[in-house]
Structure 1
Amino acid sequence: MGLKFKETAVMTLFVAILGGTIGGITWGLLFMMNLGINLLWQDLKNAVNLTLYPVVVCAIGGLLIGLWEQRFGPYPREMAEILKTVKKGNKIPYNNLHIIGISALLPLIFGGSLGPEAGLTGVIVGLCFWFSDRFKFILSETDELPQIGMAATIGVIFGAPLFAFVEQIEDEEKPAVIPKNLKIMMYFVGILSGYGALTILQNLFGGRLGLGHFPAIQKMTAVEWAAAIPLALVGVAAGMLYYLFQKMTKVAIKPLAQKILIRSILGGVILGGVGIFLPYTMFSGEHEMVEVMNSWQGLGFAVLLLTGIVKLLMGNICHQMGWRGGNIFPTIFSGIAIGYACALMLPIDPIFCVAVVTAALTATVMRKPLAVILLLLMCFPINGIIPMTIGAVIGGAIPIPKWIGLLED
């Protein structure tokens, strides 16, 4: 039975307020992240002028991360894990949101090759459950708020409302309490109010993600279309490397699994050491993406290709060493670096090249072609949708080889 007009209006207001709150919290965490990164990696680094600065700082970061994990446990949880929990209708605890927030910020501020989406999602979805429990006396349908809030969170973090909607609604396992059409409307109310609040705060106070926007693809001739499938296969190969690195690092780190401080400090030393030679392998990749877009021709084929591949490795090393975070932004950056490397070797439009490779790599890792296309529209031009579709469909269709799973045994 559908909701009455008054109940619908009240729920719409609640969802709009929730979305705005989500946008505000997301801005606050991103603002603190950027503040910490600027302090450590610009102001202090310029003042110290030490060659081994990345190693020293990342080792200190590893120590802090290890001590925090010893005290409070392994946080934040991965976004996919939280998403699965919410879709099943299970609760996310909200009595430790401050712990999750600090757990998320530490590896990001100290240069981890990780995205902010995992920590942000953990904090905000926990808040949604708190909101749901506190306001049941006003609105009986508050059980739907965490799922709607999850969609708003994803939309705000990635700046991609359609991606957020597809990511949340896809494979939903929990029966809907409210009519489907109304729930779809609520998703968009939450997403757009959250994104609007974030945009206003960013314009007023700064603190935005530094995602670049590619110009339109200038040419799509027979040469580009002939290269599309081979380029997609390059992206798929890079995606398979991601899974290979994931399994290899799990095996390599097993002896240190219970030695929290040692592995987190060692992870910092490896991260900083690699960062001295390949600085773009550090951080989540959204700011570095802009720098690569502006300097890719001068970086050269070897540096671009090596940066893209090593960043896939470093993300897995960080995660296994206890530096937890998301993998979506780093994966997109790797695709862009590898795509530009291919563009240096082929007589085709570079944006076409990057679009296909990035879509194929991201879809190989995420296994959701439609979501990947909608996500990448946040930075690629609209005329890149067909090249991205080719890459994403191929990346999502090719299965992960079973032999990669055997490496864990």
Structure 2
Amino acid sequence: MAQDTAQQTPAAPARALLPLLLPALAVGVGSSLVFLLVSRLAEELQRVLWQNLPDALGIGRYSVVWMLVVLTATGVLVGLVVWKAPGHAGPDPATLGLTAAPLRPAVLPGLLVAAMLMLAGGPSLGPESPVIMANAALAFWLGRRLLPRRPDTLWPVLAEAATIGALFGTPVAAALVLSEALTGRPMKGALWDNLFAPLAAGAAGATTTALVARPTFALGLPRSGHPRWTDLPAVLVIAPAAALLGLAAVYAFPYVHRAFARLGHPMLALPAGGLVLGLLGALGGPLTLFKGLSEVAELVRDPESRTAGQLAAMAVVKLAALLVAASCGFRGGRIFPSVFVGAALGLTAHALVPAVSLAPAVAAGVLGMLLAVTRQGWLSLLTAAILVSPPTVLALLCIASLPAWLLVTGRPQMQLSQDGRAIR
């Protein structure tokens, strides 16, 4: 045991990590700007589709007819892009998580157009999957040309970390996701040495997003204050209940995906999916449309205005919409709408039992739903936590940790081996 401790792999020296810092920061800033650009263009198109056009036509913005028209038309347009664009706008999103192999640059225009149409048109998916794929491809393509001596595997990891940091408003999310991915894999050096460059990229992405725009997860939930004894049994019920509902969708996912795949063509599957989503939107109301983050903020703004039955119905409809949108081929991720479903379940519990504190109930609902949908334990915990606490200070602390780590890495630890030598 002592020999194993003494012979453990030494930490990478600072001079090996320091050259990674500038590329990581550049990838972080660039990835955040791509995310912000896609989001801004999608928001402008959403305003045209859901405000300007119905107002000009004298149709209710969220009338049943308009929901059916816009969501079906979104399916037609995205289907056309998937059918005709080079590379068919990327791989089937049902097969993707938070990581992806770099795509050819020629595939990116179709992927980003399909993602922006989806975000603006109302399907219940988030931007994380297509934006991560786009940033990984751009970083890989540029990195190989500008810094050909760096390993090819570096660039997608930096882009993924940067995008996750930008999406969630904190680089801690990126570090936790990557540390979970590294579990069971052989590593050279200490864990923090392996996370140094990704953490720098994530910090740059999160800080750029915070400086240019309001942090994505600043939802305005009321502060929970000190926990109460009644909160413990409440969260122990809410989180497993949300996880069970999420698992129901997980088990249904391959069957729904197979049903849309039988249609055999994106110009059939996506319009059909859009029509179903329009019907679900008419059933659940406008808050069950779109990726879900702005809608969560509106949902919690006046939690007492809806009954437990209404909130539960919205959660079920939103989950069904997520299932359909992810199955029929819309380019998007599953995390953001899952946050809405979990929050609605937490609000349902609070409406049923007012003694249950609002913030812990919402956080527990989000935690259970994300655990079922993503199987990312750290990401689920962090997302649930930052819903009730601004993550800005975490980005600052991560940035502050970078120079400090450069000073300590590779130096002796305050621990000795059995022969009295300092362990490095």
TM-score, with structure 2 as normaliser: 0.80
How do 1:14-163 residues align onto structure 2 when only pairs under 5 Å count? 14-50=23-59, 51=63, 52-72=65-85, 73=88, 75=90, 78=93, 81=96, 83-85=98-100, 91-137=102-148, 139-141=149-151, 143-163=153-173
How far off is 1:301 after superposition? 1.5
State which of 184, 188, 201 in structure 2 corresponds to 1:190.
Answer: 201
Give the unaligned 5+ runs of structure 1: 383-409
Structure showing greater radius of gyration is: 2
How far off is 1:80 after superposition? 7.6
Structure 2: distance between partners of 1:369 and 1:176: 21
Question: Given the superposition, is the C-alpha separation of residues 259 and 146 from structure 1 closer, same or farther in structure 2, using an over 3 Å criterion?
Answer: closer
How do 1:348-363 residues align onto structure 2 when only pairs under 5 Å count? 348-363=356-371
Question: Given the superposition, is the C-alpha separation of residues 13 and 274 from structure 1 closer, same or farther in structure 2, using an over 3 Å criterion?
Answer: same
How do 1:7-406 residues align onto structure 2 when only pairs under 5 Å count? 8-50=17-59, 51=63, 52-72=65-85, 73=88, 75=90, 78=93, 81=96, 83-85=98-100, 91-137=102-148, 139-141=149-151, 143-172=153-182, 180-202=191-213, 209=216, 211-218=218-225, 220-256=227-263, 258-278=264-284, 279-346=286-353, 347-381=355-389
How far off is 1:125 after superposition? 0.6
Per-residue Cα deviation, 1:355-397 (whole angstroms, up to 9, x for no partner): 2222112112222222211122331239xxxxxxxxxxxxxxx
Find the counterpart in structure 1 of residue 4 from structure 2: none
The residue type paired with residue 59 of structure 1 is: T
CA contact (8 A) 2:221 2:297 kept: no
The residue type paired with residue 54 of structure 1 is: M
CA RMSD of aligned residues (A): 2.6
How far off is 1:336 after superposition? 0.5
Structure 2: distance between partners of 1:181 and 1:356: 29
Structure 1: distance between partners of 2:272 and 2:352: 36
The residue type paired with residue 178 of structure 2 is: Q
Structure 1: distance between partners of 2:51 and 2:189: 50
Structure 2: distance between partners of 1:211 and 1:343: 21
**1:98 alignment partner, SS class:** helix
How far off is 1:218 after superposition? 4.3
The residue type paired with residue 110 of structure 1 is: G
How far off is 1:318 after superposition? 1.4
Structure 1: distance between partners of 2:13 and 2:229: 56
The residue type paired with residue 349 of structure 1 is: S
Structure 2: distance between partners of 1:300 and 1:124: 42
The residue type paired with residue 123 of structure 2 is: G
**2:330 alignment partner, SS class:** coil
The residue type paired with residue 202 of structure 1 is: A
CA contact (8 A) 1:210 1:287 kept: no
How far off is 1:11 after superposition? 2.5
Between stretches 70-79 and 357-366, larger displacement belongs to 70-79
How far off is 1:114 after superposition? 0.4
Between stretches 247-256 and 62-71, larger displacement belongs to 247-256
Count how many residue pairs are aligned between Structure 1 and Structure 2: 372
How far off is 1:179 after superposition? 6.8
Question: Given the superposition, is the C-alpha separation of residues 281 and 76 from structure 1 closer, same or farther in structure 2, using an over 3 Å criterion?
Answer: farther
**2:96 alignment partner, SS class:** helix
The residue type paired with residue 169 of structure 1 is: S
Structure 2: distance between partners of 1:176 and 1:220: 39
Structure 1: distance between partners of 2:154 and 2:272: 43
Between stretches 166-175 and 267-276, larger displacement belongs to 166-175
Per-residue Cα deviation, 1:139-186 (whole angstroms, up to 9, x for no partner): 434642321221111111121311111112323387667875433221
How far off is 1:37 after superposition? 1.0
How far off is 1:220 after superposition? 3.4
Structure 2: distance between partners of 1:136 and 1:97: 22
TM-score, with structure 1 as normaliser: 0.83
Structure 2: distance between partners of 1:299 and 1:30: 30
The residue type paired with residue 137 of structure 2 is: G
How far off is 1:308 after superposition? 0.6
**1:95 alignment partner, SS class:** helix
